[in-house]
């Protein structure tokens, strides 16, 4: 798809040029402009919008990990929320109980979560498809039960507290400042994964996804790459969780059940399997959809439709149903995800007015 956008006469004469991160100069400029624009956002937006952007960033990093697993390696995990929470608790524990500054605690908890992910990824070496799904479901329940029992680690019924993020004695407080921490991690994470996909390891993951038997015949160690993919997925989930912990300053395992794991799957599928950029779009969609529905239901409340139908408090049920319907409609009409639609929009303007 992307290759169709490269202008005629633009030939690649070396491998280095062929594997560049951004296929065209314009796409690179757009990416840089996007980051600059985000960096300026705190000057224009209020707390509410900053918290939305922070949520998209934090969940986007975690969803990126899941996309490496699901979209690039073709493995499934329905325990992603548990890894996210593990990262959050680890960072909270490191920062408040061990005195590790949040600056170091965040990457460290990514690594610790990656180790845990490797352990739970072991069944992936032997299992595929639905069987693997059930095995990862076990991870979700085992980890949540661990959090409930390990009071030294998670605080048990008392939420764990995390220290605020600070660097060189300067503490990042409030959404407007913390946003820059998240933005830095988003940029680094997305560049890392895009970069990984052009290395031998990245291509090996894709080979495992596309045809594992052929990949094995080509000399790719299936067990190694499948487990590695779990480790990478857990690493990013851990980073996302750690960022969440230092944003909220408290971590509770309330609300991190199976439904949150499914939400991560929704982000990846809606964004586009195997698309780095799509992950961010899918996350934005999943984070903003309930909010958009909330604005809509707030506008409806007390209006003509509300009064004629006598909705009152039931308006929230309508809101929840609408969210479900939109997701179903989305999957029916846009099965390849937002990334695919984005490419089509780009292609349309590229060939305008001769597109069909």
What x-and-dash track marks residues 306-335 binding another protein by CB under 8 A? -------x--xx--x---------------
303 counts as binding another protein under rule CB under 8 A: no
Binding flag, residue 155, another protein (CB under 8 A): yes
Closer residue to another protein, CB minimum distance, 93 or 225: 93
Kindly identify the residues of this chain, within the stretch 187-246, that bind another protein according to CB under 8 A. Answer: none
- Tell me, letter by letter, the H, E, C secondary structure of the chain: CHHHHCCCCCCCCCHHHHCCCCCCHHHHHHHHHHHHHHHHHHHHCCHHHHHHHHHHHHHHHHHHHHHHHHHHCCCCCCCHHHHHHHHHHHHHHHHHCCCCCHHHHHHHHHHHHHHHHHHHHHHHHCCCHHHHHHHHHHHHHHHHHHHHHCHHHHCCCCCEECCCCEECCEECCHHHHHHHHHHHHHHHHHHHHHHHCCCHHHHHHHHHHHCHHHHHHCCCCHHHHHHHHHHHHHHHHHHHHHHHHHHHCEECCCCCCHHHHHHHHHHHHHHCCCCHHHHHHHHHHHHHHHHHHHHHHHHHCCCHHHHHHCCHHHHHHHHHHHHHHHHHHHHHHCCCHHHHHHHHHHHHHHHCCCCC
Give yes or no for residue 48 binding another protein (CB under 8 A).
yes
Name which of 118 and 323 has its Cβ closer to another protein: 323
Task: Say whether residue 142 binds another protein (CB under 8 A).
Answer: no
Interface with another protein, residue 294, by CB under 8 A:
yes
Least distance between another protein and beta carbon 204 (Å): 36
Binding segment for another protein (CB under 8 A), chosen from 129-137, 153-161, 179-187, 270-278, is 153-161
For residue 155, the minimal CB distance to another protein (Å) is 7
Is 47 one of the binding residues for another protein (CB under 8 A)?
yes
Window contacting another protein (CB under 8 A); options: 3-11, 18-26, 44-52, 204-212? 44-52
Q: Is 254 in the site for another protein (CB under 8 A)?
A: yes
CB nearer to another protein: give 129 or 174: 174
Q: Interface with another protein by CB under 8 A: which residues?
A: 46-52, 55, 145, 148-149, 155-159, 161, 173-175, 248-250, 252-255, 287, 290-291, 294, 313, 316-317, 320
């Amino acid at each position: 798809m992307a290759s169709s956008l490269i202008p005629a006469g633009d030939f690649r004469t070396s491998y280095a040029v062929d594997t560049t991160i951004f296929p065209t100069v314009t796409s690179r400029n757009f990416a840089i402009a996007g980051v600059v624009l985000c960096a300026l956002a705190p000057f224009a937006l209020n707390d509410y919008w900053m918290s939305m952007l922070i949520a998209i960033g934090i969940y986007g990093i975690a969803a990126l990990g899941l996309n490496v697993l699901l979209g690039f390696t073709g493995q499934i995990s329905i325990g992603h929320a548990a890894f996210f929470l593990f990262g959050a608790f680890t960072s909270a524990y490191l920062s408040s109980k061990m005195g590790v500054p949040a600056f170091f605690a965040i990457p460290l908890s990514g690594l610790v979560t990656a180790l845990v992910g490797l352990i739970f990824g072991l069944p992936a070496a032997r299992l595929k498809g639905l069987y693997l799904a059930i095995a990862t479901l076990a991870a979700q329940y085992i980890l949540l039960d661990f959090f409930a029992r390990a009071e030294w680690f998670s605080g048990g019924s008392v939420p764990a507290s995390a220290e605020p993020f600070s660097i060189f004695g300067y503490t990042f407080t409030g959404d407007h400042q913390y946003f820059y921490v998240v933005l830095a991690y988003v940029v680094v994470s997305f560049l890392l994964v895009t970069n990984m996909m052009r290395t031998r390891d990245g291509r090996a993951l894709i080979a495992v996804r596309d045809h594992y038997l052929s990949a094995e015949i080509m000399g790719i160690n299936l067990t190694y790459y499948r487990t590695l993919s779990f480790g990478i997925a857990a690493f990013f989930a851990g980073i996302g969780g750690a960022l969440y912990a230092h944003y909220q300053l408290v971590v509770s395992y309330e609300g991190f059940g199976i439904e949150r794991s499914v939400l991560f799957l929704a982000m990846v599928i809606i964004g586009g399997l195997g698309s780095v950029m799509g992950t961010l779009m899918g996350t934005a969609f999943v984070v903003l959809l309930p909010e958009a529905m909330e604005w809509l239901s707030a506008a409806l409340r007390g209006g003509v439709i509300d009064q004629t139908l006598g909705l009152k408090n039931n308006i929230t049920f309508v809101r929840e149903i609408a969210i479900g319907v939109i997701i179903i409609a989305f999957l029916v009409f846009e099965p390849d995800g937002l990334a695919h639609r984005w490419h089509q929009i780009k292609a349309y303007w590229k060939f305008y007015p001769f597109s069909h």
